[in-house]
Amino acid sequence: MPEYMTVRKHHSLLEICRTPDIAAEVTITAAERLGVDAAIIFADLLLPFTPMGLDFEFVNGEGPVVHQPIRTLEQIQALRTDRTDELLYVSQAIEKVAKHFSGLREDGDTLGIIGFCGAPFTLASYMIEGSGSRNYIEAKKLMYSQDGSWPLLMSKLVEVLVAYATQQVEAGADVIQVFDSWAGALSVQDYRQYCLAPTTELIQRIKALGVPVIYFGVDTASLLPTFRETGADVLGLDWRIPLDEGMRAAGPGCAVQGNLDPITLFAPPDVLEARVSEILKLAAKRPGHIFNLGHGIVPGTPVDAVLQIVQQIKRS
């Protein structure tokens, strides 16, 4: 959006995340401009790395880069879990957003606030690979190791992420979304053996805070029945599986979120309208569907296209 892009011109992504006034402003501007039903706080998955003692930066054209990736048991043992107060800038931004939206809207409803964190596998993979990856060779090598490295890393990440989510809930987040962006790189067997237990622990401990949890992964259609075992209240679906198939895979009693391909927002208006209609048809007005993209909005997305789908959904 124009206001968002203006902020970005003068501040780096990490500066925005770490400055509560700016992060709150970007979150509020987006929600109000688009007229959506919930605002997701402006932050980044990798923010917990810094208090754990792992520095990273965003490099133009590459995304996040960890210059000293974690590859050994000794490095994992050195990771800190006692400095999560350094992440309070995120909860301070949530407090500002919650205060702004504390009143009722014209439709008589309040606007929900979504906090979020990364899932253990995805954050571990960033730590180990150091940047984006196609094959996750280093991450899987450590995952398959027998020296206790992987369980220790999972344990430390869960401890930090629970504390981080607790800060967000106490600040006013109504729901926490757990992003497992790279879980699609795993077979069902590997996910069950190495990731299901720590992810379930994370989700259950967040739910114990009194808020629902959305669990989302990319290219994870084969993992959806296993994802359901985590006890997440909502499973996010990407665009690679038809919505009705995703709903069946999630099973009764579990809501789903999704699942328009974000690149469809670059299509002509009539094509975009047809794709949204297809998803709504598959949902068939059954309870437990939250319309959303199948992943995040990519840079350069036309704002008018986002407004178009919001208005179409509200008319449906």
User: Which domains are present in the chain?
Assistant: 2-236 (3.20.20.210)
Note the pLDDT of residue 264: 98
Pair 217, 236: CB distance under 8 Å: yes
Q: What is the 3-state secondary structure (H, E, C) of 142-191?
A: HHHCCCCHHHHHHHHHHHHHHHHHHHHHHHCCCEEEEEECCHHHCCHHHH
Query: Rounded to an integer, what distance in angstroms lies between the CA atom of residue 196 and that of residue 154?
Result: 11
Query: Rounded to an integer, what distance in angstroms lies between the CA atom of residue 137 and that of residue 145?
Result: 12
Residues of the chain with confidence (pLDDT) below 70: 1-11, 103-109
Note the pLDDT of residue 63: 83
pLDDT digits (tens, 9 = 90+) for 41-98: 999 999 999 999 999 998 877 789 999 999 999 999 999 999 999 999 999 999 999 9
- Which residues neighbour 4 within 8 Å (Cβ) at sequence distance 6 or greater? 26, 29, 30
Query: Rounded to an integer, what distance in angstroms lies between the CA atom of residue 259 and that of residue 291?
Result: 7
Is pTM beyond 0.85 here? yes
Tokens at 305, concatenated:
């296209």
Bond from prior residue into 259 cis (ω within 30 degrees of 0): yes
Note the pLDDT of residue 44: 95
Note the pLDDT of residue 274: 98
- Which residues neighbour 290 within 8 Å (Cβ) at sequence distance 6 or greater? 234, 255, 256, 257, 258
pLDDT digits (tens, 9 = 90+) for 209-242: 999 999 999 999 999 999 999 999 999 999 999 9
